[in-house]
Every structure is written in C-alpha cells, then in structure tokens.
Amino acid sequence: MTRHHDPDEIPALALRGISKVYQEGDGHRIVLDGLDAAFHRGEIVAVVGRSGSGKSTLLNVISGIDSPTSGEVLINGSPLTRLNEYQRTLFRRRHIGFVFQFFNLIPTLTVEENLLLPLELIAAGSPAQRRAVNGLLDQIGLKDRGNSYPEALSGGEQQRVAIARAVIHRPRVLLADEPTGNLDEETGRHVMALLKQLAVESAMTVILVTHSRDVAAAAERVLTLIDGRLNPQARAETTP
C-alpha cells in the first residue's frame, strides 16, 4: 500500500526536468526526457522497464556518477547537480548506498573489512566502527563470518553482506540495480525482506531497478521507465 505524504514535506529525492541525451554520430539519442519524480523518506520504489530503456542511466544520474544533460537532482532539497565532480564524490560516499546484481565485494578483503570500507572512506573512524559492523553482521545472520572472505560465502550470503555494506554509513538514498538478479527465487525473497527491514529501520529512500515481478511487488510503488519518463500507471513486462 502506498503511503500518503504531507504535500509540504521536502522529498528525500526529487528529479526536476531530468534529460539525458547522447550524441550518436550526426544524430542524438534521448534516454531521459524531461523526467520529473519525487521519492520520500523510508519509501521503497521499484523502477521497471525494457532493456535499454535507461534504468541504469537513471540510477547513475541520481547518484551523481553521471550528469544530466539538463535538469536537477535534489536530495533533501540540496541540488546534487550543482556540485562539481569532487564534491559529488564526497556527497555520494556519505549519503548514497549501492547494491548491485553481482555483489561487487572486494575479494581480497574479509567480510568485516568490506563493511568497514565505506566508513573509512568518509573518515568516520572510531572504535564504534567495529561495533557497528559486528552489530550489523549479527542482524543479517552472519555474526560468525566476519573473518571469512567473500568466496567462502554463498550467493545469498554475499548479497546480504553487500546490502549491509551499502547501509553501514546510514545513507539517505539506497540505489539497488537488480539486487536479486543473480539469486534463486527463494534466496531473492529473503534478500528483499532484509533490504526492506533495513530500509525501514534507517528511514532510507530505496530505489531499485528490477525485472522480477516478486521484487516489484515488494515495493510500495512501481514506476515504469518508458519513452524517457517514469509512468506510475503503466506496467512493464517482467519475468517471474
């Protein structure tokens, strides 16, 4: 069920007139076309759409990895798009978390070291770091695996660690690109349940790209990216 929000509330994330145009030879390709959207604190929103519709481009623009051709990205009212590349990098490290289909854990670091890395990048150093990591490992059911390396974990366990790493610094926005795409159906459901639990506890805004009906059904809203815009009514074809 979609929650109702105070119309005067500042969205956790707002997209205003976002366009992304790529030059291709003598012509150009419009991927995002004057896109407007608002996402609220603690809300989980699924974005669906056909391959090549621009879903990954949208996530890259939201995070500041890529700049829109025009328009603004605002996080808690602050215009991310007005920052330079270095400032966007610092902002992203502090306020945005990422979860990927293929986990992207660093294989030469232990589970504990993978979770500590985002905290070290934002110089949040203190003895509380290790306590935070241990507490989160306990919460995701892996409290005895802190000294293990990613290769020793199952796919579902690796994705649980990846989610924990994405939320350890308590980001305002969590972006998930096919978070269950590399998992079997049952493991995917467990991973989504964990993601929802952590999002609610931390009041994060979660935007996830998916082709899975089950994952989309677990979100509060489903938006379809079609013709460069987010449509709250249309439903893209998804696979079970």
Q: What is the largest CA-CA distance in the chain?
A: 57
User: Average pLDDT in the 72-83 region?
Assistant: 88
User: Which H/E stretch holds residue 62?
Assistant: helix 55-63
Cα–Cα–Cα angle for 95, 97, 102, rounded to 5 degrees? 165
Q: What is the pLDDT of residues 159-205, one digit of tens each?
A: 889 888 888 888 889 999 888 887 788 888 888 888 888 878 888 89
List of domains in the chain? 13-231 (3.40.50.300)
Q: Please state, in angstroms and rounded to a whole number, the distance separating the CA atoms of residues 227 and 60.
A: 18
Q: What is the pLDDT of residues 114-123, one digit of tens each?
A: 988 888 777 6
**Residue 126: per-residue pLDDT:** 64
- Among residues 86, 139, 134, which one has the least CA distance to residue 111? 134
pTM of structure: 0.84
